[in-house]
Chain A
Amino acid sequence: MKAKRRVVTAGTSAPTPRRTPTVRKLKSAFVPVASRPRASGPAVAAAAPEEADARSTSVDLTVDLGRGLVLPNPILVASGTFGYGIEYGDVVDVDRLGGICCKGTTLRPRIGNPTPRVTETPGGMLNSIGLQNPGVDAVVEKYAGTWAGWRVPVIVNVAGESVGDYVEVVKRLDGVPGIAGIELNISCPNVGRGGLQFAIDADAAAGVTAAVRRATDLPLLVKLSPNVADVRPIARAIADAGADALTAVNTLSGIAVGPGRDRPLLGNIYGGLSGPAIKPVALRIVYEVCQVVRIPVVAIGGVTELADVLDFLAVGAVAVQVGTAIFADPTLPVRLVDELAATCRDRGLAGYRPLIGTALPNKAAAPSSKGVEYRP
């Protein structure tokens, strides 16, 4: 299968191929393939002349998520927390990020859920936006041109109500310059239809993954839900169906009670819990998933500092997404890139890969589902 070329038209120069299409060979479950030489020259980070980037050049932070999607570093911003990449304006230099996952995109425009849509909870927040978005055509028209001028890969988060919806959205994204990959959101807890039912069943998850896989050559990430008893069969089914990488995890379903205690607070009643509060759950799921799949896992859930990044790497993730913490500190993701590079340098590492999977057991750990009493 031919891998897509992502065309970058930054500056005044003519479009140049971003990376060489290559056939991917996975040797190990947890260690991504070493970075390959690119047609356009040295590593992505080194290609950037800015002084700011010089701090991370000596350490190889690139990460290969498969099918030609090579991120300049393993710190991404999570879907729903960074809009379409333009909202934070000058406050964040997006080209220093490892990747941007844009707001969940559906076939038709959605107005989303009634308000209130967000509330703070201990160590986290509940949100119930309900996938408000202008629809895939408007997203492509309004933002893809901007994305094509960025060095940072933009991964479009895709949601739908049916397999047909997902396929149609992905078809419309396929081949659009500026779109580096797809993150399949089969786990949104906040919409009546369109989401969660695909993520809680291995067959349904595999079905939608396979259908999307047939519709596009774009790199395909699939986002797992934590709202399941045992995530491993689902992760395995998605990997077998052709996903290039997994994202773990989406928000945990929860509610808050309104100030008068006469009804739940959120307009949609149910919301998704995110933030530091869910980090242990996310860690557990990444730990489990990394032992059963041979594709890269991108971790997400409560990252607020470098220690969180290192924890997720230790349980096998090759990259992490920062979400809720951006609201408090929009500059955090870029700072994490610098801090990760600095840590590697301090430890005398040429890259961050030795940090991956260090906390995983040598042989497969006992299934945590043995103790079903620990589960909801």
Chain B
Amino acid sequence: MRLVGAELIESREILPGQWLQSYHAPALATGSRAGQFVHVRTGDLSGLVLRRPFSINTADQATGTITIHFRTIGRGTEWFTHLRPGDTIDMLGPLGRPFEVDARSRHLLLVAGGLGMAGVRYLADEAIRDGRQVTLLFGAASARDVYPTSLLPDEIEYVVATDDGTMGHHGFVTELVADYEGWADQAFACGPEPMLRALARLAVGRRGRLGVAKLGRKRGAGKADAPSSPAARRKAFLQVSMEQRMGCAVGACLGCVVMTTSGTPQRVCREGPVFGSEEIDWEGGWAR
């Protein structure tokens, strides 16, 4: 974790209301992994007192740049769109724990809903670099919100679902998963919570439907990994990147928690944002 000045290189609106910005921040580009995020300070401290968390969308070590992808939803995100190339902003990062890909996984299924693309986009690059095959399922409301193919690596299979049927599959992206769950060794998802919840339910029934346990799970089955440890996550079939309103992003304020099946809230910024799907209490068990 470092506090660095990041210089805006390029900023463009890639989709209506959605922006892709590239920043020169070598320390973040080299030190980060897919699934991690940066906490970025807005300019107007008198009105906006909190930083904004953004997934590291891509990182290029050669040029020392990272990109962030966001939708304008308020004054903070609006402020970022007014930045000009050359402007320097203050980033804290890289933060959070990354996706953990099992060394034996050849086929990765990535599932993104809307802006959830920003959460898994970096993982596609990492997986291709490591020689893995990637299928990316993407869900959006309509064709106009579909992430452009030109911004994705050529090597991946990109399958689109839209709620209104204007492009690709007519329906939810989760309905596409059945075609790939046998092929995939591991799945990684980011998007709206209902989507993640549906995926988690699918993942629970997967082994039963397939009739086999894949990935030689007997290996290492004897020793139990500590819950929420990287080793435990690496064995999870489905890893999800969670979103929550965030204060400090370093684990100090306890604002951004999610309830876990162990009964203790875990911090999205510190223990997350990536969790094994079975770690999360999807019913939100704050029994009071």
Q: Which chain A residues have a beta carbon within 8 Å of chain B's beta carbons?
A: 80-83, 87-91, 103, 111-120, 122-125, 127, 129, 132, 267, 275-276, 304, 324-331
A90 touches B265 (CB 8 A): no
| 8 residue pairs bridging A and B, Cβ less than 8 Å apart | A83-B252, A89-B1, A112-B254, A112-B265, A114-B288, A118-B246, A330-B3, A330-B92
Which of B29-37, B41-49, B63-71, B153-161 contacts its partner? B41-49
In the complex with contacts A91-B92, A118-B245, A119-B245, A80-B45 CB distance below 8 A: no
Q: Are A111 and B45 in contact (CB under 8 A)?
A: no
B residues near A83, Cβ cutoff 8 Å: 248, 250-254
B 60-85 binary contact with A (CB < 8 Å = 1; else 0): 00000000000000001000000000
Residue of B nearest to A274 (CB): B49
A125 with B49: CB separation less than 8 A: yes
Q: A103-B254, A120-B48 given; name 4 further pairs at CB < 8 Å.
A: A115-B256, A120-B50, A123-B49, A328-B51
Name which of B46, B253, B264, B265 has the most chain A CB atoms within 10 A of its CB.
B253
- Residue interface bits B7-47, CB-to-A below 8 A is 1, else 0: 00000000000000000000000000000000001100111
Which residues of B are interface residues toward A (Cβ below 8 A)?
1-3, 41-42, 45-51, 76, 90, 92, 244-259, 263-265, 270, 284, 286, 288
Question: In whole Å, how far is A7's beta carbon from the nearest beta carbon of chain B?
Answer: 26
Tell whether, in the assembled complex, residue A132 and residue B49 are in contact, meaning their CB atoms are under 8 Å apart.
no
- Residue pair B2, A91 in contact (C-beta under 8 Å): yes
Which residue of chain B has the shortest Cβ distance to A304 in the bound complex? B45
Closest 10 pairs between A and B when the two form their complex, measured CB to CB:
A83-B252, A118-B255, A114-B286, A87-B252, A87-B250, A275-B49, A87-B251, A116-B245, A118-B247, A117-B255
Question: B270 — nearest CB in chain A belongs to which residue?
Answer: A87
Assess whether A132 is in contact with B265, with CB atoms less than 8 Å apart. Answer: yes
Contact B245 A327 (CB under 8 A): no
B46, A327: Cβ atoms under 8 Å?
Answer: no
User: How many Å lie between the Cα of A80 and that of B253 in the bound state?
Assistant: 5
| Given contact pairs A129-B253, A276-B49, A111 touches B247 in the complex (Cβ within 8 A) | no
Alpha-carbon separation in the docked complex, A132 to B255 (Å): 10
Please determine whether A88 and B254 come into contact, CB atoms closer than 8 angstroms.
Answer: no
- Least CB separation from A102: chain B residue: B252
Instruction: Check if A111 sits within 8 Å of B264, measured CB to CB.
Output: yes
- How far apart sit A103 and B42, CA to CA, in the bound complex (Å)? 26
In the complex, what residue of chain A is closest to B74 when comparing beta carbons?
A120
Partner of B248, one of A87, A90, A116, A120: A87
Interfacial chain A residues near B249, Cβ < 8 Å: 327
Pair A132/B46 contact, Cβ less than 8 Å: no
Instruction: Please tell me if the beta carbons of B257 and A91 are within 8 angstroms of each other in the complex.
Output: no
Chain A residue numbers with a CB within 8 Å of B50 are 118, 120, 125, 327-328
* CB-defined contacts of A119 to chain B, threshold 8 Å: 245
**B1 contacts A91, C-beta separation under 8 Å:** yes
Which residue of chain B has the shortest Cβ distance to A77 in the bound complex? B252
Looking at B49, B244, B257, which has the most chain A CB atoms within 10 Å of its CB?
Answer: B49
Query: What is the CB-to-nearest-CB distance from B250 to chain A, in angstroms, rounded to a whole number?
Result: 5
Q: Kindly identify which residue among A82, A111, A116, A117 contacts B252, using a CB–CB cutoff of 8 Å.
A: A82
Evaluate contact between B2 and A115: CB separation under 8 angstroms. no
Contact of A81 among B3, B47, B248 (CB under 8 A): B248
User: Are A267 and B248 neighbours in the complex by a CB distance under 8 Å?
Assistant: no
The answer to whether B49 touches A324 (Cβ under 8 A) is yes
Judge whether B3 and A132 touch: CB under 8 Å: no
Q: CA separation between A330 and B92, bound complex, in Å?
A: 9
Distance of A260 from chain B, by nearest CB (Å): 14
- Say whether B251 contacts A127, CB under 8 Å: no
Residues of B contacting A103 in the complex (Cβ-Cβ under 8 angstroms): 252, 254
Q: CB distance B252 to A132 under 8 Å?
A: no
Contact partners of B270 in chain A: CB under 8 A: 87
Known A91-B3, A327-B248: A117·B49 in contact at CB below 8 Å: no
How far apart are the CA atoms of A153 and B114 in the complex, in Å? 47
Give A125 to B45 CA distance when docked, in angstroms: 12
Asked whether A129 and B255 contact (CB < 8 A) given A87-B250, A116-B245, the answer is yes
Partner of A326, one of B48, B90, B248, B256: B248
| Bound-state Cα–Cα, A83 to B251, Å | 7
* Alpha-carbon gap, A111 to B258, bound state (A): 11
A216 to nearest B CB, angstroms? Answer: 26
Among the listed B92, B244, B254, B263, which residue makes an inter-chain contact with A132, where contact means beta carbons less than 8 Å apart? B254
Residues in chain B near residue A127, CB distance under 8 A: 247, 253, 255
CB distance from A42 to the nearest CB of B (A): 32
Interface centre among B42, B50, B251 (most CB of A within 10 A): B50
Residues of A within 8 A of B264 (CB): 111
B2 to chain A: which residues have CB within 8 Å? 90-91
Closest Cβ of chain A to B215, distance in Å, is 33
* Cβ–Cβ contact B47 & A132, under 8 A: no
Q: Which residues of B contact A115 (CB under 8 A)?
A: 244-245, 256-258
Shortest Cβ distance from residue B38 to the other chain A in the assembled complex, whole angstroms:
13
Residues of B within 8 A of A329 (CB): 41, 45, 90
By a CB distance below 8 angstroms, the chain A residues around B254 are 80, 83, 103, 112, 117, 129, 132
Q: Complex formed: what's the CA distance from A279 to B258 in Å?
A: 31
Contacts of B41 in A (CB 8 A): 328-329
Min CB gap A85→B, angstroms? 9
Distance (whole angstroms) from the CB of A255 to the closest CB of chain B: 15
Q: How far is the CA of A327 from the CA of B90 in the complex (A)?
A: 12
> A328 and B49: CB pair below 8 A?
yes
B257 touches A132 (CB 8 A): yes
Q: In the complex, are the beta carbons of A117 and B3 less than 8 A apart?
A: no
Q: Which residue of A lies closest to B249 (CB)?
A: A327
Closest to B251 in A: A87
Cα distance A80–B255 in the bound complex, in angstroms? 10
